[in-house]
Chains A and B, each alone.
Chain A
Amino acid sequence: MTPELMEAGAEARERSLTRVLTHDGPVFNQGVALYVEDLRVAFDGFQALGGLSFTVGVGELRCVIGPNGAGKTTTMDCITGKTRPDSGRVFFGSNLNLLTMNEAQIARSGIGRKFQKPTVFEALTVAENLELALAGDRRARFAMRARLSGEQRDRLAELLLTVHLAEERERVAGLLSHGQKQWLEIGMLLAQDPKLLLLDEPVAGMTDEETERTAELFLSLEGKHSLVVVEHDMAFVGILAGAHRTVTVLHEGQTLAEGTMAAVQSDEKVIEVYLGR
């Protein structure tokens, strides 16, 4: 083969890998929902991610744990388009290259994110918060005339029940308790009907009862959605991971260990850096 041909081939391959199909959703024909390969991010010389790789299967509930500064939030930022990595690849399904899309496009393609600090629209009511999150046309022109359809109204009522906020429906979100705001944000995520949910410390500031209910909710979503849960609360991760689900341990921007909760907890390296003795 001549060098020109090899170059042309390489280019074509690159093109096929970077193709963006924003009007189409992700294709899950490989059984993989999220594919992260060799992700590297540095902030002013500090290596936040140093070649992180992991995959999340379709319908899988994956827990990610790691000490502070391990790169958990940075990973989320890269997946959702908030931070551009220096190198690496992030694919949603087998066709969407997330590194070429912006936050809004990524969200529309079916990835929902819950922030570490609960972020809801404090000036709007609970119902209005959910209304904005409900799947539908996202254009400004449409929003001027938009009305909720009967179907959407039903879905909204159903969501209010799911997140236990039916009685707070007309309440201004800014007046909710911390735990209720967390629930509202989870409700907004569900309203988007995303295929992949990224949950950054979803039970921070919740009471034990709320935490338990949240775990129940997430487990009920498994299979219908793919979930990535980043959490410090080991008890919560223990409930979620159960005996058979995979837990990924991050450390200094890399995958330190991966396996069942029991396997991870008995891993020498993990004990050393995270679980402590």
Chain B
Amino acid sequence: MKRTLLVVIALGLLLVPLLHLAFPPGHVLHLSEFYVGLLGKFLCFAICALALDLIWGFGGILSLGHGLFFALGGYGMGMYLMRQIGRDGQYQADLPDFMVFLNWKTLPWHWAASDSLVAQLFLALAVPGLIAAVFGWFAFRSRIQGVYFSIITQALTVAAMLLFFRNETGFGGNNGFTDFKRIAGLSITSPGMKVALCMASAAALIACYLIARWLTQSRWGRILQAIRDAEGRVRFLGYDPVAFKLSAYVISALMCALAGILYVPQVGIINPGEMSPAASIEMAIWAAVGGRGTLLGPVLGAFFVNGTKSVFTAWWPEGWLYVLGALFIAVTLFLPAGLMGLAKRFKR
């Protein structure tokens, strides 16, 4: 029963964007471009919430720096999109506009692979994955836990944000990347491309969900939960918690990077703001509102919180942060298990 429902929802998410192409504007079933973009964005956020829940809900590790991995994935994709602009930029130069503005003559070394979609996609996943692996290894080996881990991850993303703000690092400073034109030679603003990207995001979310489900139902997942509840006991059973926490952390970072890769071409911009502490904290709120330790919860939470945000920012923009704060307090006080907990309570 539950399974059938999930399959229907998954197929729905995957096929809904097609309504944009299948029906002409004005038709009842037509989905406007605005909603295709919104759905695509929410799907990417849902991947982030799911990724965060994998380590927080199941592993008890609260990272408040996952925005870093999301942004790194986005920047990796952005570099490719910047090169795809070609000579159609403001300065009609071979180099991206911001480099011309800075009076640079050649591409910096880290842009070497930016002409190839495949190579750049690989880097957009490999770099965040590697950073998560190195940082996680040091943090988990030193047995940094709880709030200390949260603070350090927060510091890490802030440090990266400051680095990306600087023009010298070659990521476009505080303007970041924008004004994209093409992916693989095809227009990025065409309806077909918008629908394709939205469907790719839905497919990515479904894939991440299935991977997370397989992982959490395996013995690996049970050990991860055991580490959350009694790490010392796990150690005395002969398991090395570092290996389990690290693999969970890296997988989670990779999912976030994937979300970033899909997010940037859909919203058409990436800047260091994505690495701000607030962006990472919001991800934690999505997961908490939806319900930690469930896989469906964070997806639901991401859609619910961002949906509410869309409504409020159109209707009462100044009020949104108050609403978000109130929502978080309400969930913490009355719904410790989030929306999923609420659903369970109604079932009973």
Contact = CB atoms under 8 A, between A and B. Distances in A.
A133 B236 CA distance: 10
B225 A121 contact: yes
A53 B220 CA distance: 40
Interface residues of A, number: 29
Given A119-B232, A119-B233, A123-B229, A138 B222 contact: no
Contact of A146 (B218, B228, B233): B218
Interface string B221-262: 011011011101111111110011011000000000000000
A50 to B, nearest CB: 26
A212 interface: no
Contact of A138 (B218, B233, B239): B239
A139 B230 contact: no
A128 B217 CA distance: 11
Contacts of B240: 104, 138, 140
Q: Max chain B CB contacts within 10 Å: which of A121, A124, A139, A146?
A: A121
Contacts of B219: 131-132, 143-144, 146
B222 A124 contact: yes
Given A123-B225, A132-B223, A144 B237 contact: no
A143 B244 contact: yes
B183 to A, nearest CB: 34
B215 interface: yes
A168 interface: no
Interface stretch (A88-96, A108-116, A245-253, A265-273): A108-116
A81 to B, nearest CB: 9
B243 A80 contact: no
B244 A138 contact: no
Contacts of A123: 225, 228-229
Contact of B244 (A107, A120, A140, A145): A140
Contacts of B229: 121-123
A75 interface: no
Nearest to B214: A144
Given A121-B225, A143-B223, A145-B218, A133 B237 contact: yes
B81 to A, nearest CB: 35
Contacts of B236: 80, 103, 107, 112-113
A139 B237 contact: no
B237 A124 contact: no
Nearest to B246: A140
B259 to A, nearest CB: 22
A108 B239 CA distance: 8
Task: Classify the secondary structure of B's interface with A.
Answer: helix
Contacts of B234: 132
Given A122-B229, A124-B225, A132-B226, A143 B218 contact: yes
A120 B229 CA distance: 8
Contact of A139 (B222, B233, B243): B243
A122 B215 CA distance: 20
Contacts of A124: 222, 225-226
A192 interface: yes
Contacts of A108: 238
Nearest to B245: A140
A163 interface: no
A80 B239 CA distance: 14
Interface string B171-193: 00000000000000000000000
A188 interface: yes
A123 B215 CA distance: 17
A59 B222 CA distance: 33
B230 A119 contact: yes
A188 B226 CA distance: 13
Contacts of A132: 219, 222-223, 226, 234, 237, 239
B215 A144 contact: yes
Contacts of A128: 222
B238 A107 contact: yes
- Centre residue among A82, A123, A188 by max chain B CB count within 10 A: A123
Nearest to A140: B243
A192 B222 contact: no
A80 B236 CA distance: 8
Contacts of A131: 219, 222
A151 to B, nearest CB: 16
A138 B238 contact: yes
Interface string B282-297: 0000000000000000
Contacts of B235: 103-104, 107
Contact of A143 (B220, B228, B238): B220
B233 A121 contact: yes
A32 B239 CA distance: 26
Interface string A134-152: 0000111101111000000
Nearest to B228: A123
A107 B219 CA distance: 19
B32 to A, nearest CB: 43
Given A107-B235, A140-B243, 18 more contacts: A107-B237, A108-B238, A115-B232, A119-B230, A120-B230, A121-B226, A122-B230, A123-B229, A132-B219, A132-B222, A132-B237, A138-B238, A140-B220, A140-B240, A143-B220, A143-B223, A144-B215, A146-B219
5 contacts: A107-B237, A115-B233, A123-B229, A139-B243, A143-B223
